Amino acid sequence: MSPDEKLIYMANQIAGFFRAQGHDRAVAGIADHIQRFWEPHMRRRFVALAPEHKAEVDPWVAEAFTRVKVPEI
């Protein structure tokens, strides 16, 4: 598994964990988890690669990333 595939896999796992809480709480939980535990370079890379991999990214992950602060380089 490539590093990019691993980021998508991890993000989708996070979504799976929070999914039972319902849409609104899950999206907030996903965003919070990624903001707290992913390094800035991981967040930047995910944002860069997600448009090319829309089919693989859980829709709730994509929505959560609209709430995640992604620092510029």
> Each residue of 52-67: pLDDT tens digit?
999 999 999 999 999 9
* 72 pLDDT more than 90: no
Give the whole-angstrom CA distance, residue 33 versus residue 60.
Answer: 13
Per-residue model confidence as pLDDT tens digits over 17-37: 999 999 999 999 999 999 999
Res 73: pLDDT: 73
Q: Give the mean pLDDT of 6-12.
A: 97
What's the N-to-C CA distance of the chain in angstroms?
Answer: 26
Res 70: pLDDT: 87
Q: For the whole model, what pTM was predicted?
A: 0.92
Q: Which phi and psi (to 5°) does residue 55 adopt? A: -65, -25
Distances (CA, A) of 9 to 14, 17, 45, 51, 72: 9, 12, 13, 15, 23
**Hey, where are the domains in the chain?**
3-64
Q: Cα dihedral sign for 38, 70, 68, 32?
A: positive
